[in-house]
């Protein structure tokens, strides 16, 4: 019977520890989230919008089945 009570006590202590740890993690997460939101506002002015760029698909449909196609990606000759 003593063993049963010890087991119950250990289980209850573990449940309480998990609850406390979860609360601490949630508080740390909310603090971290607030810091990130503040940084997002200040960094937004340094970011340019991305231009509309064409999509290059690496496949084509042959008889309704997608098949890979050859893509040549390179650079123009540039004098530095």
- Whether residue 77 is contained in a domain is answered as no
**Interatomic CA distance for residues 78 and 6, integer angstroms:** 77
- Whether residue 6 is contained in a domain is answered as yes
- Whether residue 60 is contained in a domain is answered as no
Tens of pLDDT, residue by residue over 38-47, are 666 666 677 7
**Which structure tokens are listed for 52?**
């509309």
- Name the residue range of residue 49's domain: 2-55
Strand partners, 67: 60
Tens of pLDDT, residue by residue over 43-68, are 667 777 888 888 878 888 889 898 88
- Whether residue 62 is contained in a domain is answered as no
- Whether residue 69 is contained in a domain is answered as no
- Whether residue 50 is contained in a domain is answered as yes
Predicted TM-score of the model (pTM): 0.30
- Whether residue 76 is contained in a domain is answered as no
For 35, half-sphere exposure in the C-beta direction (CA atoms, 13 angstrom radius) is 6
- Whether residue 80 is contained in a domain is answered as no
Domain count of the fold of the chain:
1
């Amino acid at each position: 019977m003593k063993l049963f009570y010890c087991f119950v006590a250990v289980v209850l202590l573990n449940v309480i520890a998990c609850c406390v740890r979860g609360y601490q993690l949630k508080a740390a997460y909310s603090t971290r989230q607030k810091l990130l939101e503040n940084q997002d506002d200040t960094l937004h002015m340094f970011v340019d919008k991305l231009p509309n760029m064409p999509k290059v698909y690496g496949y084509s449909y042959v008889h309704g089945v997608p098949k890979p196609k050859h893509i040549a990606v390179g650079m123009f000759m540039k004098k530095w």
